[in-house]
Structure 1
């Protein structure tokens, strides 16, 4: 299976396992900058040079050799499951994508038809009942993850632990896992371990958010979207994420972690 979703600097100074909706655009740009002294001009997900990516065939043997020998510092980044699934809904379901179209073509019509979800449109200013539609989307996300119906789960809402485990199961080991909610502190640890890199001052780095500005703004606080049933569904989908990455399941309003991530526990539980 190899190392899907893995990026590595060309200099092989650092290895990163991408987790969608967890600051991956910003992290990719910082990695690019650390090698080249400039940011990639465009969305880093589109870059086909300047960075090794598992999706590029020529990069696969280089990444495999590095990761299996653990030659470089390896890390990933996680996010509160409540805010991550909300972000996926507003970006991928409600938003218009970079190509000017809806995400995955027929996905939104399917959701409208099968789950009664409304998403609004740029023409009506994205006016719709966000809470009601989001809760119906949660049912759909649960169905894709639990039963793989009416489609396979999408990388943007499948559990973080699933993404992170492939790296471990196939022979990799993480040196660091940090929280999006404490991005500068976590990313600084990574930068301190990148040898010979161009100096990156995190307080001056722009946040690269490829999903911003093409969909509705969230109209309510996070906790308003999650009633008792929604919380139950979120826990059913993301139980391992809450437990391993130390997020607060009991309180959707608290996006901050409530404990320290235990790397040994992560490797033991996700390496099975």
Structure 2
């Protein structure tokens, strides 16, 4: 199976396991800059050189050798499951993607037909009941994750623990897992731990939020989207994310973690 979703700098200074919707665009750009002294011109997900990615066949032997031997510092970044699933809904379901089309072609028409979801019209700019539509989307997300129906789960709303686990299961070891919610602190610890050709100041770099502007803005506080049933579904889908990455399941309004991530626990639980 190898190391899907794994990126590595060309200098092999650092290895990163991508978790979608967790600042991955910014992290990729930081890695690119640390090697080249400039940011990639465009969406880092589109870069086909300047950064090793498991999706590139020529990168796979290098990533495989590095990760299995734990030659470089390896890290990933996680996010509160409540805000992550909301972000996925507004970006991927309600939003028009950078190619000018709906995400995954027939996905949104399927959701409108089978789940009664409203996405704000053809351009995603019309008013609609965000809370009602999101809760219906949550049923769909649960169905894809629990029963792989009406389709396999998408990487943007499948559990973070699953992404993090493949790296461990195939022989990788994390040196750091940090939270999107305290991004600068976590990323600084990674940069302090590695030697890179180019230094950068995290306080001054732009945020490369490639999903910004794709969809409508969230009109309500996070907690308004989650009633008792929604929280039950969230627990069913993301119970490992809350437990391992120390987020507060009981209070959707609290996006901050409530404990420290235990790397030994993560490796033990996800390496089984």
| TM-score calculated relative to the size of structure 1 | 0.99
Shift in CA distance, 96/20, structure 1 to aligned 2, threshold 3 Å: same
* Residues 1:142 and 2:142 aligned together: yes
Taking a change above 3 Å as real, the CA distance of residues 124 and 115 of structure 1, as seen in their structure-2 partners, is: closer
Residue in 2 that maps onto 1:29 = 29
Deviations 1:79-108 (A, max 9, x none): 000000000000000000000000000000
The alignment yields a C-alpha RMSD, in angstroms, of 0.8
Q: Which 4+ residue blocks in structure 1 deviate beyond 6 angstroms?
A: none
- How many Å separate the matches in 2 of 1:214 and 1:62? 35
- Alpha-carbon deviation of 1:124? 7.0
CA–CA distance in 2 between the matches of 1:60 and 1:185? 30
- Deviation of 1:223 (Å): 0.3
TM-score by length of 2: 0.99
The superposition leaves residues 7-51 of structure 1 with CA deviations (integer Å, 9 ceiling, x where unpaired) of: 000000000000000000000000000000000000000000000
Any unmatched runs of 5+ in structure 2? none
Helix, strand or coil: the match of 2:57?
Answer: coil
Q: Structure 2: how far apart are the matches of 1:131 and 1:220? A: 8
Q: CA–CA distance in 1 between the matches of 2:123 and 2:249?
A: 37
1:212 maps to which residue? 212
Q: In structure 2, what is the Cα distance between the partners aligned to 1:153 and 1:123?
A: 25
Residues 136, 182 of structure 1: alpha-carbon distance in 2 compared, 3 angstrom cutoff? same
Q: Distance in 1 between matches of 2:115 and 2:122?
A: 21
Structure 1 residues 124 and 67 mapped into 2: Cα distance closer, same or farther (>3 Å)?
closer
